[in-house]
């Protein structure tokens, strides 16, 4: 992990060596990263409490699943991504730079850069615009 990576307890992962942070990264409480494939986390990433990044999956066919056949695909969070609390990002997904994923979402496909996306399954709601910036008088600290 990059030296500017902060990880709160309880954090769980499969291996750890497949997790690559590339700058300031905040991983909040009770997160899980199932890193059976590479997980690349861009600088400025904020991962809220209870998030699961799951590269691994299982066969859909019950007979194959019962024989232990599984899947694994990488996950990429580009720079300045914010994943909301209790969201799940599935294997094979890339979330574009600057995007925000709403709390409780299940991300099953790529999300473009610069958008707010949420839901089950996660879908783009709208682009992030200048109207999303706080005015100086609205900032509490």
The stretch 48-73 carries a mean pLDDT of 97
Q: Give pLDDT tens digits for 73-113.
A: 999 999 999 999 999 999 999 999 999 999 999 999 999 99
Q: Which residues are catalytic?
A: 58
Domain boundaries, the chain: 5-138
The reported pTM is 0.94
Strand partners, 40: 20, 76
Cα–Cα distance, 27 to 135 (Å, whole number)? 27
Domain 5-138 belongs to what topology?
UDP N-Acetylglucosamine Acyltransferase; domain 1 (2.160.10)
Q: Are 107 and 90 in contact (CB under 8 A)?
A: yes
């Amino acid at each position: 992990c990059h030296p500017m990576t902060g990880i709160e307890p309880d954090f769980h992962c499969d291996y750890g060596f497949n997790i690559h942070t590339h700058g300031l990264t905040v991983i909040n409480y009770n997160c899980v990263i199932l890193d059976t494939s590479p997980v690349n986390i861009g600088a400025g990433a904020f991962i809220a409490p209870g998030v699961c990044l799951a590269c691994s999956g299982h066969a859909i066919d019950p007979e194959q699943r019962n024989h232990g056949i599984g899947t694994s695909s990488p996950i990429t969070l580009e720079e300045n991504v914010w994943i909301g609390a209790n969201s799940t990002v599935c294997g094979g997904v890339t979330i574009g730079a600057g995007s925000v994923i709403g709390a409780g979402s299940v991300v099953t496909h790529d999300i473009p850069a610069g958008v707010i996306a949420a839901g089950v399954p996660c879908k783009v709601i709208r682009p992030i615009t200048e109207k999303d910036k706080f005015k100086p008088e609205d900032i509490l600290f």
